[in-house]
Structure 1
């Protein structure tokens, strides 16, 4: 099987995004992962695929020190129901396993919603494969993905 991070790298290059993908050791917590990556917990972005009605999916980009606010995200997306899909549906919708999901290189270019707290940062996130992390300028990522920027999170 090919390394799915190659697909992420190719997608980034096609968008003109400057990314760095590196091996990353397993971590027992967000704080440990941040320390190992040399960033703060807020700079690790969780890339979540969210299921809407029928076959509709969305990506939500959430800083590591925050949690998704379902009411805020529903309001921004303009729907009444959203949920995290089962692992097999997430894989089918994106081509990535949970824990590796990233909008770059997804098998379908679902709409992206980025929390406004990402602006102005250099962030780390999943890279399409276990044991790999992607580093990218958040503003460049948001612009390249034509993401909707909004307050979509709550403090943990």
Structure 2
């Protein structure tokens, strides 16, 4: 049981957990998740962590088939520039290993931005905190639990 699943159970949020056999050789963990669960990549969201202006860590939640725009995530976070965060710092701050970072149940609450396309979906899939484990939930619940803003963060 991951911290993400525990949080959903504590808050009594409707969700489903999906498990699949993760292949460590997969080129894209997110696309692998979509394929193995038989859902559209537009519904499966990856969780990335960026450093804005060299100090502030922020979480970006975006469809697995899209690329994060560092310019747009910096702008959303009201900063000047962004870079992908140091992997060791991501693991320390979130409590999750790379490839299995969940936006839910992180050790430290970080400013979070969800790609605006999630608003149009009934359900989204995000990492449950472990490779091969995904959580299905309503985008509004994801936004509420992470206190996220919807934003245009791809490009």
TM-score (norm 2): 0.86
Match of 1:83 in 2: 83
1:74 corresponds to 2:70: no
CA contact (8 A) 1:120 1:139 kept: no
Deviation of 1:53 (Å): 4.3
Deviation of 1:20 (Å): 1.7
Match of 2:142 in 1: 141
Q: Which digits, 9 at most, give the CA deviation of each residue in 1:115-135, with x for residues without a partner?
A: 101113211121111221111
SS at match of 1:67: coil
CA contact (8 A) 2:47 2:102 kept: yes
Q: How does 1:107-126 map to 2 (within 5 A)?
A: 107-121=107-121, 122-126=123-127
Runs of 5+ unmatched residues, structure 1: none
From 2, 6, 9, the counterpart of 1:10: 6
RMSD, aligned α-carbons: 1.9
Match of 1:131 in 2: 132
Q: How does 1:15-30 map to 2 (within 5 A)?
A: 15-26=11-22, 28=26, 29=28, 30=30
Distance 1:68 1:127 in 2: 20
Deviation of 1:147 (Å): 0.8
Deviation of 1:138 (Å): 1.5
**Aligned pair in 2 of structure 1 residues 113, 8: CA closer, same or farther (>3 Å)?**
same
